[in-house]
Amino acid sequence: MSNFLTPFLQAVRRDLLLAARHKTEVITALFFFVIVVNLLPLGIGPDADLLRKIAPGALWIGALLATLLGLQRLFAPDHQDGTLEQMALSPQSFTLLIAGKIMAHWLVSGLPVVLIAPLLGVQFDLPARSLGILTLSLLLGTPILSLIGAVGAALTLGVRGSGVLLSLLILPLYIPALIFGAGAVEADLAGLGFEGHLSLLGALLLASIVFAPWVATVALRVALE
């Protein structure tokens, strides 16, 4: 089993080391998330009830945009220097290598968002229970954003104006995760059951884990031909 996962772990380690050498990009995405979420309370005002109502959507939209910020560089640098082509020609599983890159992207852009979101949720006057559900929904949902985003990044690799095209392509695909993720917190705030939303979010995550790396690999092979 360890030998099977070796390409995956190697890809994760490599991309994390590269991210550590380019800390500015990581910090930029995190600050972008913080700024987007902080602007809404400043613009809306001190109405606590209104802030609680918009909090789930605001935090989820901020997480979505922060994830989107780094997607264009998920495969582009490796494509430019020939590393991606070497991965495709390697005897190791190309799908596992791509899955490792997606995992590294989530660790760099998604996990920090999950960790800092409860702190930002306090300014929206969210109760402790809702903050816990928010964290759990982001923990399930942000990997979906990275997985779906990887498919979009692969499909637009090497295309002129790929940044705009990438946004247009994947933003509609993010809507289910956004609805179920924010809906779980909204349901809890309304005194309703939130388990159904999280279950659907978990099902989306499972489907994304199964299909997204494979679809991204196929798209990358086409782009490299």
pLDDT for res 2: 53
pLDDT for res 139: 95
Dihedral sign for Cα 154, 160, 163, 165, please.
negative
C-alpha closest to that of 26 among 62, 70, 60:
70
Q: How many domains does the chain have?
A: 1
Domain that holds residue 186: 2-224
Full-prediction pTM beyond 0.85? yes
C-alpha closest to that of 154 among 217, 83, 65:
217
140-180 pLDDT per residue, tens: 999 999 999 999 999 988 777 667 788 888 999 999 999 99
pLDDT for res 144: 95
19-40 pLDDT per residue, tens: 888 777 778 888 888 888 888 7
Side chain identity, residue 42: L
Q: Spell out the SS3 assignment of 61-127.
A: HHHHHHHHHCHHHCCHHHHHCCHHHHHHHCCCCHHHHHHHHHHHHHHHHHHHHHHHHHHHHHCCCCC
